[in-house]
């Protein structure tokens, strides 16, 4: 699985958009970008994933650059409950096997 690089921490004001970057310059053609978050003392929570097109769901939007070497997770209107560690993970999208390789992630703190 390709390696990812994320900033260790970010701050965001409540109600504003939170834009979390991720670099994955060695990503290969069949590898997806996955985002998870982990709120303190809970298990990680799946947010969104994508291959090359931008994706949006009820939680967030995922913007992947055309060369696929980086991506940005966007929380459009951050709330205090979005304070968490956010993990960007890259891996092939197999249906029967697929481990998640977590790095250190980005600690997002949303301020009132």
Partner 1 sequence: DAGVTQSPTHLIKTRGQHVTLRCSPISGHKSVSWYQQVLGQGPQFIFQYYEKEERGRGNFPDRFSARQFPNYSSELNVNALLLGDSALYLCASSRPGQGAREQYFGPGTRLTVT
The footprint of partner 1 (CB under 8 A) covers 32, 34, 42-46, 49, 85, 87, 89, 91, 93-105
Query: Which lies closer to partner 1 via its Cβ, residue 34 or residue 108?
Result: 34
Q: Find the shortest distance in angstroms from Cβ 2 to partner 1.
A: 13
Q: Find the shortest distance in angstroms from Cβ 14 to partner 1.
A: 26
Separation CA 36–CA 91 (nearest Å): 13
- The full DSSP string for the chain is ----B--SEEEEETTS-EEEEEE-TT--TTEEEEEEEE-TTS--EEEEEESSS-EE-SS-EEEE-TTSSEEEEEETT--GGG-EEEEEEEEE--SS---------EEEEEE-
Q: Find the shortest distance in angstroms from Cβ 55 to partner 1.
A: 12
Query: Which lies closer to partner 1 via its Cβ, residue 26 or residue 77?
Result: 26
Q: Find the shortest distance in angstroms from Cβ 46 to partner 1.
A: 6
Query: Which lies closer to partner 1 via its Cβ, residue 7 or residue 14?
Result: 7
């Amino acid at each position: 699985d390709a390696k990812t690089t994320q900033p260790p921490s970010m701050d965001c004001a409540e109600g504003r958009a939170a834009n979390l970057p991720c670099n994955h310059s060695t990503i290969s053609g069949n590898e997806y970008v996955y985002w998870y978050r982990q709120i303190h003392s809970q298990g990680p929570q799946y947010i969104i994933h994508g291959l090359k097109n931008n994706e949006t769901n009820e939680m967030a939007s995922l913007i992947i650059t055309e060369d696929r070497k980086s991506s940005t997770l966007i929380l459009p209107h951050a709330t205090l409950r979005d304070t968490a560690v956010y993990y960007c993970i890259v891996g092939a999208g197999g249906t029967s096997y697929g481990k998640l390789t977590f790095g250190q992630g980005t600690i997002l703190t949303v301020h009132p």
